[in-house]
């Protein structure tokens, strides 16, 4: 959606846009008027093309933070000291005849 904002900021006609979810990976797209896009300077085109890329970086940083904090987030749901405890194992030999 950041890319959509950049298209409006650069005054490029937006034909359409959408969002999707591929397995667990979210995505978005923006369809712009190519002739208007090509009439912009290289710097303005780069700003439009890179608008969605940095957004992906922010999403990855957020996902990594959640992943690393997951043990702390789930800790209240774990119970310790109230289950079966294995104190030892014995080796059993099976003889074949």
- The domain ranges of the chain are 2-77
CA distances in angstroms from 77 to 54, 67, 93, listed in the order given: 35, 17, 40
pLDDT band at 74 (very low <50, low <70, confident <90, very high): very high
pLDDT digits (tens, 9 = 90+) for 21-32: 777 777 777 788
* pTM greater than 0.75 (yes/no): no
Query: For the residues of 13-70, what is the DSSP string, one character each?
Result: -EEEEEEEEETTEEEEEEEE-HHHHHTS-HHHHHHHHHHHHHHHHHHHHHHHHHHHHH
pLDDT averaged over every residue in the chain: 79
**Is-contact 30 17, C-beta < 8 A?**
yes
């Amino acid at each position: 959606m950041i890319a959509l904002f950049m298209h409006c900021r650069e005054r490029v006609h937006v034909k359409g846009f959408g969002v999707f979810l591929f397995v667990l990976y979210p995505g978005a797209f923006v369809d712009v008027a190519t002739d208007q896009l090509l009439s912009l300077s290289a710097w303005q085109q780069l700003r439009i093309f890179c608008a969605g890329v940095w957004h992906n970086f922010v999403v990855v940083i957020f996902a990594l933070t959640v992943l690393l904090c997951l043990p702390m987030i789930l800790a209240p749901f774990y119970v310790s000291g109230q289950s079966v405890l294995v104190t030892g194992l014995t080796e059993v030999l099976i003889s074949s005849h």
